[in-house]
Amino acid sequence: MCSAMGTGTSLGTRNRRYLYLQAMGIQAWELRRPQTEAHAVGHQVVRTQETDNPSIVEAPEGPAVVDLDWTPLQTAVETCTLCDLHSSRTRSVFGVGNRNADWLLIGEAPGRDEDQQGEPFVGRAGQLLNAMLLAIGLQREQVYIANILKCRPPNNRDPKPEEVVCCEPYLMRQIELIRPRLILALGRIAAQNLLRTETAIGKLRGRVHQFRDTGIPLIATYHPAYLLRSPGEKRKAWQDLQLAVETLRERA
Ligand code: SF4
């Protein structure tokens, strides 16, 4: 069971949560159950076999990772030259966190700080993500965090479809190894690629999808970097997190 759930809420915990909510720019009264879009539709799981993305391309030859365990998988990423991004990266960014996590968070791709440090979600966006997690009672170390791409696109441009296809087997193998109980897609790029759709993130968030044919619930929300630029959307991100917690609780 997720440690975020089923525990009593002490005064200290409430105070700490209040501080984290403040960090997220969310007023404390939002601790009450939000009326999410999913609630409005009876919390129905939306099976998004959305394959309306015309930009999906076939990989000429993907990495052979099917049977790899963690160490050889990480080595494969660190030495990967399957797409052009290998030539401009400082370091690949494999992923970090609890390899037995209930929660798998998937973002877009490394940025400048991540490329330098080799870890996803560092810098200001990472700090906000940590605050978001703490607001639902999770330490960063309790979840696993990865990206769609393991190497930084130059100037933080959007990933190209062929790069996503080349890199996807690594992420799929990580998902197989972790076997998370829930996937949280952070941002448009992650949500659209995982769900294979071009639907806008504003329409993907706020409901429970299913990750392809795995049965794993997937919830999409805004990327922390976007929330830093658009703090008015933090309330919706908070609702998405609440929906994720409730989804796990219902499936416990
Ligand atoms: S982005 Fe992925 S496929 Fe491209 S070089 Fe890096 S690890 Fe390999």
DSSP for 29-62, please give it: GGGSPP--HHHHTTT-EE-------TT----SS-
Residue 243 Cβ contacting ligand 1 at under 6 Å? no
Give the model's pLDDT for residue 52. Answer: 55
Give the distance (Å) from ligand 1 centre to CA of residue 83. 5
> pLDDT 10s per residue in the chain (252 long)?
323 333 333 335 555 555 556 656 665 434 333 333 333 333 344 444 445 554 444 544 667 898 999 999 999 999 999 999 999 999 999 999 999 999 999 999 999 999 999 999 999 999 999 999 999 999 999 999 999 999 999 999 999 999 999 999 999 999 999 999 999 999 999 999 999 999 999 999 999 999 999 999 999 999 999 999 999 999 999 999 999 999 999 998
Give the model's pLDDT for residue 6. Answer: 32
Give the distance (Å) from ligand 1 centre to CA of residue 94. 10
Residue 171 Cβ contacting ligand 1 at under 6 Å? no
Sequence-distant (6+) residues with CB within 8 A of 136 are 4, 241, 242, 244, 245
Give the distance (Å) from ligand 1 centre to CA of residue 106. 16
CA distance 214 to 49: 11
Residue 167 Cβ contacting ligand 1 at under 6 Å? yes
Nearest CA to ligand 1 atom 2: 167
Give the distance (Å) from ligand 1 centre to CA of residue 82. 6
Residue 138 Cβ contacting ligand 1 at under 6 Å? no
Q: In what helix (H) or strand (E) does residue 105 lie, and over which residues does it extend?
A: strand 103-107
**Residue 77 CA: which ligand 1 atom is closest?**
7
Give the model's pLDDT for residue 231. Answer: 97
Q: Which residue has the tokens 């999410």?
A: 36
* One-letter amino acid of 129: L
Give the model's pLDDT for residue 189. Answer: 98
Give the model's pLDDT for residue 129. Answer: 98
CA distance 160 to 83: 10
Residue 163 Cβ contacting ligand 1 at under 6 Å? yes
Q: Are 194 and 159 in contact (CB under 8 A)?
A: no
CA distance 41 to 32: 19
Q: What is the DSSP letter of 159?
A: P
pTM of structure:
0.82
Residue 184 Cβ contacting ligand 1 at under 6 Å? no
User: Pocket of ligand 1, candidates 77, 115, 150, 172: which has the most ligand atoms within 8 Å of its Cβ, to mutate?
Assistant: 150
Nearest to 210 by CA among 231, 185, 189: 185
Nearest CA to ligand 1 atom 4: 83
Give the distance (Å) from ligand 1 centre to CA of residue 152. 9
CA distance 13 to 137: 8
DSSP 121-143: S-HHHHHHHHHHHHHTT--GGGS
User: Pocket of ligand 1, candidates 75, 82, 87: which has the most ligand atoms within 8 Å of its Cβ, to mutate?
Assistant: 82
